[in-house]
Chains A and B, each alone.
Chain A
Amino acid sequence: MSAITVVNRRSFLRTGGIGLGLLLGFTLPERSKLAAQGRRPAVAAKPGAYIHIGTDDTVTFLITKAEMGQGTVTSLSMLLAEELDCDWAKVRTEFAPVDPASYGMQGVVGSASIRSSWAPLRQAGASARVMLLEAAAHRWGADKSQLRTERGFVVGTSPNQRLSYGSLSEAASKLPLPANAPLKDPKLYSLIGKPVKRLDTRDKVSGQAKFGIDARIPGMVYASIARCPVFGGKVSSFDDTKAKAIPGVKNVLQISTGVAVVGENTWAAMQGRKALEIKWDEGPNASQNSAAISRMFADLAQKPGAVAKQTGDAEKALAATAKKLSAEYEAPYLSHAPMEPLNCTAVVRGDSCEIWASTQMQSGSRDAAAKAAGLTPENVKVNTLYMGGGFGRRARVDYVGETVEIAKAIPGVPVKLTWSREDDMQHDFYRPASYVKFGGALDAEGWPSVFTARVACPSFGAARGNGVDSTAVEGLHTLEYRIPNLTVDYHRADAGIPTSYWRAVGYTQNTFFAASFLDELAAAGGKDPVELRKRLLAESPRLLGVLEVVAAKAGWGAPPPGRFQGVAVVNNIGSFTAQVAEVSVTQGKLRVHRVVCAVDCGHVVNPAIVRQQIESGIVFGLSAALKGAITIDRGRVQQGNFDSYDVLRID
């Protein structure tokens, strides 16, 4: 349970200060999670998150998470506003500083913001509401139970008893905190479950929204870094004579990730960086290439790997069956390519450091900055700015550390580092390439009796005790199909290419592989792909539910002439999803005409935002399926910009 307190305004550190009114602070549950892991920070608990109700009726929510387009700012505010019963039009938000004592781990990964905030934010909103009710009851000498709230007002029994939250907020701030403020009956929700407009739209339509790359600090200089094009390589020597001759170049320095050029604007820094003459020590990956990686995957898949899932005895069943099938599927490395290239701004002053960053890992950014600056995390201040897309890339904080390295070398001067698109694409942490060898068999009636999947895929996570990295096999070892003999095994196949989260990980390729191979089994057994899945998912009601909805909505089985349909169904972190794609092939060219998607993601806070996220995922997935591939030659990425790594466009 989260702790809620009424806070003395002056105890809050916040630029600009907080005006009069009610300030309700509370702590968030991640904090207790940290405590449970024995990692409780040494600092005393501080109620850092807050609701502030100004005397001008403005309601400000402090958002401890980050926003990359997924709608966190809006959805979290909706939880608070619903129970507070305030006027949505008066809601403002601010991003919180990083402070583990108050907020626990701050970051947006694994689709967890709403899940972890659902209970505490509603409780905090409800507590503030009760205090406003109480303040009005005092003023009118009325019984609190006779009063109600209405979109930012407390309303009494007589017609002239109507006071805005703002006019009550000072008085409310002097009241004790109510114990167990009651929560609304969900039937009465006016925001949760409704397609409420996003809070960040105005700023994003006017050009005023501040992304990381938009940070402007007085006296700031600009930096660009040349990194070794080969993964794992480093600087051997460099000559900066020509770079320093470029107008506007101020400084050249070597840092751990390469050679940094500092200039009076981004352009000058980038030009200076181009003029650097660097000899690289290309390191152990200098001859790595995509064909060799594929071969390594295929070789590994010849032998059994670490078992990730085993039902029945696939080997025995295969040997005993006449109707067998096998197939290999392979997917390439993929880049995230968020529209905002990576960047960070930092200044090191004496024994303190301040950074401005668009990051999915606010806590991790603070730690990375501290490490690079040689300071303790408590001496680093993190300013969270909007992210121009994250997709998992901004869960890595490499770009924060290198910015602070530069800033440390020129103390007192704020530095903004901007990666070029080529930097972004060639120094990503990629969605791993992957190879899966499938085996299957059919029983006498043509239903699948055996399904085996052997995965060869790099690993960036910690493998469990038995050698299985779940991020590599998710989407396979999580299959809920009732097939009597089902085996998934795994080979760790590292190739020296950095990999990481990419809008999930294994699900992005394994779902495609598994759905395709299941269709091969369906075709071999003469079964309809939807009928087959229904049978295999008879005991998985939520998967079955979305499958039935999508089949009905897509007109399964009756595509327009010349078009074909394909279906897939998956449960990724508790969101049950089914899709039907309608495609045609003309002269070998695939065209996707329509994608119908059914999702059951449990409690929906904002259906418009969920819809956006799903559409976004479909476009992202189609970009990957139809266009994207990162290939390696001589240890380096061959793509560099959107000409060689194209993505879906409006047509």
Chain B
Amino acid sequence: MAITFTLNGGRQTVNVNPQTPLLWVLRDTLGLTGTKFGCGMALCGACTVQINGNAVRSCVTQVSSVAGKTVTTIEGLSADLSHPVQRAWMAEDVPQCGYCQSGQIMAAASLLAKTAKPTDADISEALRGNICRCGTYAQIRRAVHRAAEIKAGGGKA
């Protein structure tokens, strides 16, 4: 079945089993491997993408449900790593193994789009569902605050 949606700013049509989770369509069908598989049950956040700006777990989102919607993956967050969250992540050198980070970044970007100056409690709430087995949590928290500052400063760090 043909399903059409907006993906990272462009129009995308895929012809797949409509029940296939968006995660596997992105990774296997479209080759966008920045979005990761971690649990397949909305328990870890590795597969987080944005659908119409909201952070969503793509492993439990049937591709048919995104028809006509706007999907953003880590590859589409910015063309040149200029998104405040990516800049803050680089400034804080957050990733260790890095596997969870696409999901962390997409969740953090969605938080900042809604809450310009998140508190520690806001950050915990928004990122509780994103597991990092390397334990980069302290750096993630610092980076989210920093991203908020970058954004408030009009993109200047």
Contact = CB atoms under 8 A, between A and B. Distances in A.
Interface of A: 67-71, 197-198, 200-211, 213-214, 216, 222, 247-248, 265-268, 270, 337-341, 386-391, 418, 420-421, 608, 612, 615-620, 641-643, 647-651
Interface of B: 16-17, 20-21, 24, 27-29, 31-41, 43-44, 46, 73-75, 81, 86, 89-90, 93-102, 105, 123-124, 127-141
18 contacts: A67-B97, A200-B95, A205-B89, A207-B33, A207-B75, A265-B24, A268-B20, A338-B99, A339-B44, A339-B131, A386-B99, A421-B38, A421-B39, A619-B132, A619-B135, A641-B40, A642-B44, A650-B130
A275 to B, nearest CB: 14
Nearest to B126: A650
Given A388-B36, A650-B140, A216 B31 contact: yes
A637 to B, nearest CB: 16
A391 B134 CA distance: 9
A211 B95 contact: no
A205 B31 contact: no
A647 B31 contact: no
Contact of B74 (A202, A207, A337, A651): A207
A386 B98 contact: yes
Chain A contact surface mostly: loop
A389 B134 contact: yes
A341 B86 contact: no
Nearest to B74: A207
Contacts of B127: 649-650
B29 A339 contact: no
A642 B45 CA distance: 11
B17 A247 contact: yes
Nearest to A651: B124
B73 to A, nearest CB: 7
Contacts of A386: 97-99
A71 to B, nearest CB: 8
A248 B17 contact: yes
Nearest to B144: A650
Contacts of B132: 339, 619, 650
Contacts of B35: 207
Contact of B128 (A201, A388, A612, A649): A649
Nearest to B97: A69
For B36, B73, B93, B138, the residue with the greatest tally of chain A CB atoms inside 10 Å of its CB is B93
A205 B90 contact: yes
A472 B9 CA distance: 55
Contacts of A618: 135
Given A216-B33, A650-B130, A650-B140, A341 B81 contact: no
Contacts of B100: 339, 388
A89 B55 CA distance: 34
B102 A207 contact: yes
B33 A201 contact: no
B81 A202 contact: yes
5 A-B pairs closest in CB distance: A207-B34, A619-B135, A388-B99, A69-B97, A204-B98
A642 B93 contact: no
Contact of B28 (A70, A266, A388, A391): A266
B134 A197 contact: no
A68 B75 contact: no
A630 B33 CA distance: 31
